[in-house]
Chains A and B, each alone.
Chain A
């Protein structure tokens, strides 16, 4: 109840609860797990940025002996068509990260547009937008993506990212809607409305800055989801065969008989890359979670003697 929240001086609280973006970064830097996550993530970002300098060979050049195990010349060995797996891994980092983070950001923007509008405006607008959100939420995403891919032939990773973002925003929208609903009755929003600010201005300048941690958390999970979805599609053979991503590497490993040749060095790097990027994202999210939900930060539960001893 907003009328009741009055400070000790009797003045209504205005904008005292705004979490600053800097708080987000401080929380990230303070938590050990988040620091490990950020470090790991940074390594992959650097690899992606400097791929042409790091990769020893061209990713698709086929001028090496086939099915070589890891050696000094080929750190991760070579593929069944004589390509250098290490170079593919380095260039694949670039594609997978760019598509994943790009799609994560885009789907967060779409989710914000749906969720904040629905939660802030309310009424029939909310009913309609929320309904659309719920439908996108329950439709099986990968199956829907596969059907779209079947019609759009030979897609590049970029188009895949776009399709993933445009179908995968619903979970974010649901969270943002709940946040916007709880914020719209706050004093600072009412004050802004009384001072004549437009709905759009209130949503962008008043509501959004108060959702920083939820937005950050959503970007993280949406990026992870997009990375998994993109590599899944690529693995199913639904991405242009000339693109180099971790997903297409797994596709070629599967179709190129990596298993029966005992070429574990062809299968392990791309999947490990995805899993490590995913882990780094999730580790960063741990500390953001604790900002959103302070109870998770409480120390070990105090228990009476006798039941302790974990």
Chain B
């Protein structure tokens, strides 16, 4: 229980930290932060309209601390600001359209890469020194060291452009409208395969190598050697004795992995013009649409923090030592 409270507290404080970074960053820049943010509009707006716009985004002559509380209040009450690019659409509306695409893409590929990577990690450690163990980790490290956008570009070029197996870009075809129809879902799936493959290739080897190394260490433990001497069936030894314990550190490295996957999905979405939040963020940066940049960052940060919280709580279910406060039963 103390562990759960602890994680909840960390979640709340880290969300606060992300919010505060969002507030401080533009104000840390040299010069007037508002002028930097609204530089693009300097020539098209009357000074009055400019002033109104600044006030709307919480820039006023108030002391910083009051601006901060106005900003916090806006966030809590759902007033995240209006997008410059799609003025006067609230940024939350813009983000609500792109978020499901990213969550679907990242969610499905993460699950796939965790399961396949971990399973192969178990197997390669078990067949230590076998041909798969000698080739797979190195091959997958090469793929992992390859930047996401490059993997994506190569996949588009060969599987999309040359072989014409998959569409080159976008989230769904021109002929369908987003709806719950079978035609739309099929089109979305077809468009999702190459982006998903890109993210999968980039994230898979972390799980593979991590699990392999944990598993090698666990297989050297006395209780495993004893179980083997006792005559426990190999499959049972591999899965129930070794893998079950070796999998725990995998879960703690999830925090780093999810950050990597989210970074990768931003790059991948840009390669494929995939209508997710990463593409939205990049477009917002190029358009200097600061309200949208800030909202997108906040949503990405909160989603990642939430994913971490869920995994932490899951970890408490899996490892009883965490629940009982470090005392091994």
Contacts and interface: CB of A to CB of B under 8 A. Distances in A.
Interface in A254-276: 254, 259-260, 262, 264, 267-268, 270-272, 274-276
B281 A139 contact: no
A141 B168 contact: no
A247 B153 CA distance: 13
B156 A259 contact: yes
Contacts of B14: 134-135, 138-139
Contacts of A279: 138, 141-142, 145
B241 to A, nearest CB: 13
Contacts of B267: 142, 232, 235-236
Contacts of A278: 141-142, 144-146
B177 to A, nearest CB: 27
A8 interface: no
A63 interface: no
B149 A142 contact: no
Contact of B153 (A138, A231, A267, A303): A267
Contacts of A148: 25
B313 interface: no
A140 B263 contact: yes
Nearest to B271: A254
Identify whether the interface residues of B are mostly helix, strand, loop, or mixed: helix
Interface stretch (A19-27, A54-62, A107-115, A294-302): A294-302
A235 B266 contact: no
Given A143-B266, A150-B293, A271-B147, A264 B157 contact: yes
A146 B266 contact: yes
Contact of B154 (A134, A231, A237, A271): A271
Given A150-B293, A267-B153, A274 B219 contact: no
A259 B259 contact: no
Given A236-B270, A267-B157, A301-B128, A138 B213 contact: no
A86 interface: no
B17 A142 contact: no
A1 interface: no
A301 B146 contact: no
A298 B119 CA distance: 22
A138 B263 contact: no
Nearest to A301: B128
B235 to A, nearest CB: 10
Interface in B155-187: 156-157, 161, 168
Contacts of B284: 150
A171 interface: yes
Contact of B145 (A150, A259, A275): A275
A140 B259 contact: yes
A237 B146 contact: no
Contacts of A283: 138, 141
A270 B308 CA distance: 34
B216 A296 contact: yes
A272 B153 CA distance: 12
Interface residues of A, number: 63
A299 B308 CA distance: 36
A9 interface: no
Nearest to B260: A141
Contact of A151 (B29, B228, B255, B300): B29
B294 A147 contact: yes
Looking at A253, A274, A310, the one whose CB has the most chain B CB atoms below 10 A away is: A310
Contacts of A189: none
A307 B127 CA distance: 10
B150 A267 contact: yes
A191 B138 CA distance: 44
B259 A310 contact: no
Given A134-B10, A139-B304, A146 B150 contact: no
A296 to B, nearest CB: 6
B262 interface: yes
B273 to A, nearest CB: 10
* Smallest CB-CB A-B distances: 5 pairs: A278-B145, A310-B130, A271-B150, A142-B263, A300-B129
Interface of B: 10, 13-14, 17-18, 21-22, 25-26, 29, 36, 126-133, 138, 141-151, 153-154, 156-157, 161, 168, 213, 216-217, 219-220, 228, 234, 255-256, 259, 262-263, 266-267, 270-271, 281-282, 284-286, 288, 290, 293-294, 296-297, 300-301, 304-305, 308
17 contacts: A33-B138, A138-B259, A138-B304, A139-B21, A142-B262, A144-B297, A146-B282, A146-B285, A147-B22, A151-B26, A232-B148, A264-B157, A267-B150, A274-B150, A279-B138, A293-B213, A304-B228
Given A140-B300, A147-B25, 9 more contacts: A138-B304, A143-B263, A236-B285, A259-B156, A271-B154, A283-B141, A293-B213, A307-B234, A310-B128
